[in-house]
Structure 1
Amino acid sequence: MAESDRHEARDVVMALPVNGAPASATPTSTNGPTSNAANANANASSNNKRRKNRAASRRSAKRRHSMSKAARDPRDEPESKATSPVRDAAGKETTSSAVATRSPSPCIDFDGLSRPSTGTRARLEENDEERQVRLEKMRGAVRTILECVGEDPDRAGLLGTPDRYAKALLDFTQGYQQNVRNVVNEAIFHEGHNEMVIVKDIEVFSLCEHHMVPFTGKMHIGYIPFHSVIGISKLPRIAEMFSRRLQIQERLTKDVANAIMEILQPQGVAVVMESSHLCMVMRGVQKTSATTITSCVLGCFESKEKTRNEFLSLVGVNRH
């Protein structure tokens, strides 16, 4: 138990009533007013300490900024590259194996991966022979699934299904092999523009990571530049890159907003997505008309209600 916790526990115990009379934090004496003053001072000091501890706990419990720590699987860290000679401040030659591969953001990496999970590096760097081994493994898995659902994978209509589905699934998840910096391709222009820019009704198709069935919808992206603007076609490309992965809608919305915030450094970014999930339409509750709306607002969109409401009104979310 920490020292401060022991002091607090002692204070509580000593404050409990004993034989009908409250116990004091310090031994009682027969000095009358002097003793009462000492007891009051001790109790006040104990109360102040408890208040400080509670305040410290509240400060530590504040929400951490979403871009403060990268959310990655530590098992997918790259191997260190060969050491190279460098010179220190005194001019002496030393060797260093430190290679800048990770940015502080969970959405962008310098080595070509964005929010990598276990296995993305192997897929990104595989050669033709390894790619064929991967495809063959996926074909066998699809054939097993067909057998398990009661089908005959050797009948005419299903002969090519394992190969077609394996290739389709790799296409659906090609976002694992893309990086935001490569997608943007330096299409950032210094125009001195500081008014809201919106690209709305971006069609988005993704796979739910819980059931691996599609969810589809539209995404609306807005930002307020800080002098620099991005090519408008890059916003749909960023949305597509993150959607071509196993996703949930909440994370997809936040991924797009955080990536634009880091790559462009605008005054603020707002992203709203409306979609229909087949995992809720085709199975489970089977509510065919239900749609899900998620949003992520950063910068001035989060701090200024008027700016946020203007964006929501322009994209048609505020329909009342």
Structure 2
Amino acid sequence: MTTRQVLELSGISKVFASSGGLRSLIGGGGRPVSALKDLSLALGAGEILGVVGESGSGKSTLGNIILGLEQPTTGTMLVDGKAGQGLRRGDRLAFRRRVQMIFQDPSGSLNPRFTIGRTVEEPLVIHGLGDAAERRRRMLAALEEAELKPAEHFAERFPHELSGGQRQRVAIARAVILRPSILIADEPVSMLDVSVRAGILRLLRKLVSGHGMSLVFITHDLSLIGTMCDRVIIMYRGCVVESGEAKAVMRAPRHPYTRQLIDAVPVPDPDWEPPPLLLKPGSEETPETGCRFAPRCDLAFAPCRASMPALRPDPAGHAVACFHAETAGTAGRPRPIDDMMDLQR
């Protein structure tokens, strides 16, 4: 049975104009920054898609485009089969009900002057849903779903009176109260203590499953992917370099960049030392032609610098954008990701 697609991105690119910084002061200017390049993906109903990459890979830009905070330079986006860009005000409000985000910093995403109850109820007010009694009922139910109990007790408190984990649960309650089709979680546990992360991740999975939502889970922590996500895309400087079923990609990576990311995942072994990430001189610059990873790849050869390899899927749906896809895996070498995935269960 074919899964209904709730999100479809086709040929999405995003270029930011550069002010040039210091160069602009001396007349040099700055070249535009390509944050996303020709990105295409689909998200099925009820699916959890992991988006992984180091800082500067374009993860948050992708999330902002899906949310509508940024408009793509080129490409198209469909949400529930309807255009997600160039919308008029009325259509834009309806779009907001279908896509919601949980931000990284729970403290910065909550208004310190609002009570928790008002914060969670605010989306209903904005969208004109229900009278005061109905909104309060739904607000209390959302807090209960987010495991903030008793809800009446939390509703009258302010953000500064809660712990970081509790504040993130408030942000989750606010995001799901509209029953969106797509939930975007941008590094939702990176600022939380390790002791509370597992509870937040279990809550997200429960809500996604219970309400039939789809989740775009943005993270730099590969140890979360195998147990949290159904599929994963690996991003490097705006491009998807590998994608597929989450556990399959984590256990048998076929792109050199994915391999380097996995090699850097720490393991609970005092004698283990991570291998150094290869960073050749000048590799901080994104090449204008060829594979964007070529400057720091230990397998790069002439074709890598001449053209960007296409993202080619195998029969199982594991897609890799690499001329060395068959030889870039980690077969026969220790896989620290397995140990970390076990710890997240």
The interval holding the TM-score normalised by the smaller chain is under 0.3
**Larger relative contact order (CA 8 Å, sep ≥ 6):** 2
More helix per residue: 1
Which is greater in Rg?
1
- TM-score when scaled to structure 2? 0.24
